[in-house]
Structure 1
Amino acid sequence: MNPNYRAVASIYDHLMKSIDYKEWSEYLQDILIERDCKFTSALEFGAGTCKISENLSRKFTLFVATDLSLDMLLENKIQHNFVKVCCDMKKSSFNKKFEVLIAAFDTINYMLNRTELTDFFVNVKSLMNKNSVFLFDASLEKNSLKNTKRLNRKGKVGELAYTQKSFYDKENKIHYNNFEIISSNSVFEEKHVQKIFPLEQYFESIEDAGLVVLDCFDCFSFEDVDHQSERAQFVVGK
């Protein structure tokens, strides 16, 4: 079994080809404009192949894109005006504070228990100044229930054939995505695990970390999140 995203990195952009990263980035930008945020420095956790970073970095003086997977970061081969750093977002430390911090597209769901979630928020707090804003979205149970069937798929990318098997464990609130990737002479397997926390847990962990929820939207809108939402967009301050 390979570490997360070592093999999947090579097919990730194909898997996510239906995602409009430009529109997603514009939504995040609109939130920042609405809150009159400074577009000086930004840090993105779980940047992956840096599609959000590509779109947002041009708005900032300094933009740092981080991910635990070096393979994912290296998949983005275009020269951009942002810095790439391979690090664990649960333990990342920089010798500066950032005006804007971002964790987009299910990044937060890789925290697998309440302790990890709260500790992550504590780490985020250490990278914020008094006026900083942290934007993150969380995939909710409605999203898993709706999309599990669609995510059971197979296909081909160049010389690579892949199979994705998706399963949502409703009792334990865990979403599994298992990948098999076959090249001409090798077979790679990866197992991705995400925790689907109840909405209330995010509020509790944010408060426990000494942070404040400024807004919580039904993602891609400015309407309040509710229990029919598939994804929540949080706006967090210090």
Structure 2
Amino acid sequence: MKKDKHIDPYKHVAFIYPDIMDFVDYKWWAKYIYSITVNHLKKSPSVLELGAGNCKMAAYLSEDYKDYIASDISLSMLSGSVCKINKVCCDMTALPFNKKFDLIFSAFDSINYLTSKAKLQTLFQQVYSNLTDEGIFAFDAALINNSYKLQKVAETSGNFNGIKYYRKSKFYPVSRIHKNIFRIYFSDKVITEIHTQKIFEFETYFEVAEKCNLYVADCLKAFTYRKAKATSDRVQFIMKRKT
């Protein structure tokens, strides 16, 4: 049987990613993730980050959580990291680990790259199988108000290390699909790379968790300690296994 060729969804955007994310304070964000997870965890927990990208978050969070694995589906993104931690290139819906983790988490709406309920359910099933009995699953997700707001700045451009790029954001309310279309000008070629996200309804995460024997232990408005609502731009979940 012929094996499927691995697709690297960030193969070209990886070259300009540091510029795209230049506005992010990863140190502050890592402190926030630590603050909302530490009280749920035992001392010296094992941690798996999903969608770790170029490991900017991992560089800070692994200072507090030493037993740390950063994973991402994009080898290009992981290869661009200078962070000296364990890294694994894998699909979050097909985790290859033979151990369980006390904390599994993802950040910056990585979960929205799962474009169907079936894929979301597969992820939650994988998390359930790879989470310790007392472990937690933490992730943030973008909701529909965030997509509407992004349409106000739908087109941006930049130049990073001599590579010019343009980004266009398109949201399709009926299908709840949000696309970021990148046009990247390398010295020898021009590449178009499209990133597609699904903006699930707020309630969907609760429904799918229930099907996978997980429950929502807390749900916050992202980057705050206030309770989330369906009208929030982004939400931060903390889930646990049902006993």
The TM-score range, normalised by the shorter chain, is over 0.9
Q: Return the offset for 1:192.
A: 0.5
Runs of 4+ more than 6 Å apart: none
Say if 2:56 is the partner of 1:51. Answer: yes
- Mind listing any 5+ residue stretches in structure 2 that lack a counterpart? 1-6
In 1, distance between residues paired with 2:39 and 2:45? 16
Amino acid at match of 1:139: A
Secondary structure of residue in 1 paired with 2:174 = coil
Give the % identical residues: 38
Q: Return the offset for 1:36.
A: 4.6
Deviation sequence 1:29-50 (CA, Å, 0-9, x none): 0012333543321000000011
Who is 1:190 aligned against?
193
Q: Return the offset for 1:115.
A: 0.7
Among 28, 48, 52, the alignment partner of 1:23 is 28
Q: Is the 2:179–2:197 contact (alpha carbons within 8 Å) kept by the matching residues of 1?
A: yes
Say if 2:230 is the partner of 1:237. Answer: no
Say if 2:85 is the partner of 1:71. Answer: no
Among 192, 199, 221, the alignment partner of 2:202 is 199
Amino acid at match of 1:74: S
Q: Return the offset for 1:3.
A: 4.4
In 1, distance between residues paired with 2:201 and 2:44? 32
Say if 2:146 is the partner of 1:143. Answer: yes
Structure 1 stretch 60-69 or stretch 143-152: which is displaced more?
143-152
In 2, distance between residues paired with 1:147 and 1:98? 35
Deviation sequence 1:117-165 (CA, Å, 0-9, x none): 0111000111111110110000111111112332411111122110111
Structure 2 counterparts to residues 208-227 of structure 1, below 5 A: 208-227=211-230
Say if 2:102 is the partner of 1:122. Answer: no
Deviation sequence 1:77-109 (CA, Å, 0-9, x none): x242x2011011110121111111111111110
In 2, distance between residues paired with 1:152 and 1:75? 26
Corresponding pairs, count: 235
Who is 2:164 aligned against?
161
In 1, distance between residues paired with 2:121 and 2:178? 20
Say if 2:49 is the partner of 1:38. Answer: no
Who is 1:174 aligned against?
177
Q: Is the 2:112–2:199 contact (alpha carbons within 8 Å) kept by the matching residues of 1?
A: yes
In 1, distance between residues paired with 2:83 and 2:230? 41
Structure 2 counterparts to residues 88-103 of structure 1, below 5 A: 88-103=91-106
The alpha-carbon distance between structure 1 residues 34 and 62, as it changes in their structure 2 partners (threshold 3 A), is: closer
Deviation sequence 1:169-210 (CA, Å, 0-9, x none): 011101000111111211111010000000000000011111
Who is 2:3 aligned against?
none
Secondary structure of residue in 2 paired with 1:59 = coil
Who is 2:4 aligned against?
none
TM-score (norm 2): 0.93
- Mind listing any 5+ residue stretches in structure 1 that lack a counterpart? none
The alpha-carbon distance between structure 1 residues 199 and 221, as it changes in their structure 2 partners (threshold 3 A), is: same
Amino acid at match of 2:40: R
